[in-house]
Amino acid sequence: MPRCAVMVEPVPRADVSQRESLSREQALPHLRLGVLISGSGTNLQAIIEACASGRLPAAEIALVVSNVASAAGLQRALQHRLPALYLPWREPEESEQRLAALLELFRVDLVVLAGWMRILSAGFLERFPRRVINLHPALLPDDPSANVHIASDGSAIPAFRGLHAIRQALEAGVKVTGSTVHYVTPAVDAGPVLCRAEVPVLEGDSEETLHERVKAVEHELIIEAIARWRARELLGQP
């Protein structure tokens, strides 16, 4: 016999998790993202879906900018009725001024470089301190001045910075590569790391097959990085 006769109605699990996620969402500062692209925009697509599905709660894409008019990513943005602009990059200084003005006009909190193929100057970055992050298809070390990252299997992987990072990994014959999201600093692909993920290199991999697997991982990683950035920079969490 139960000692207490009072029946407490159990709260259905769905209600509990719904309430928890609602209160978590209410506690989150709203995030307006500016996504800069130059190409296919599959990572942009992952961000669009994460905002829509609530995987990235209280977040929206405020602006998409491409420096390439024919970038497929621009079409993805337009299909989702997102503000999307082509910004020609003929004269870098002037283009950066325009870009900064646009990001401010659209009240962007965080700038995400998702396949953006232009280097941003120190002057530009000073206008958005700790507010620009980049996705790079290689394993970058925690120490920005280091040239090697120690992978989880203990192997030392050279930091493949700059262009053609996937090709560099294949040419170096490494067994593992991956992707890193880092803060953007004036030194190319060398800012403090937000998060990274490993991807094994398989026998017979071509640049295309390997990059495709790296991108599949990136589509998760970029969402994790945005969430981590908000927790760290807007909520003061470690």
Nearer to ligand GRF, 117 or 234 (CB): 117
- Strands of the chain (E only): list them: 31-37, 59-66, 84-86, 110-113, 132-136, 148-150, 156-158, 176-183, 193-200
d(CA 127, CA 145): 24
Which listed residue (34, 35, 36, 42) binds ligand GRF by CB under 6 A?
42
Bridge partners, residue 54, by sequence = none
- Tell whether residue 80 is a contact of ligand GRF (CB under 6 A): no
Region 19-38 residues binding ligand GRF, contact defined as CB under 6 A = 37
Nearer to ligand GRF, 45 or 109 (CB): 45
What are 4's two structure tokens? Answer: 């207490």
Given 136, 149, 182, 211, the catalytic residue: 136
Of 43 and 168, which has the nearer Cβ to ligand GRF?
A: 43
Identify whether 219 is a catalytic site residue: no
Binding piece for ligand GRF, criterion CB under 6 A, among 7-15, 40-48, 170-178, 189-197: 40-48
CB 177 within 8 A of CB 155: no
Tell me the β-bridge partners of 190: none
CB 29 within 8 A of CB 235: yes
Q: Shortest approach of ligand GRF to residue 30 CB, angstroms?
A: 24
Which residues are known to be catalytic? 136
Site for ligand GRF, rule CB under 6 A: 37, 39-44, 73, 114-115, 135-137, 179, 214-215, 218
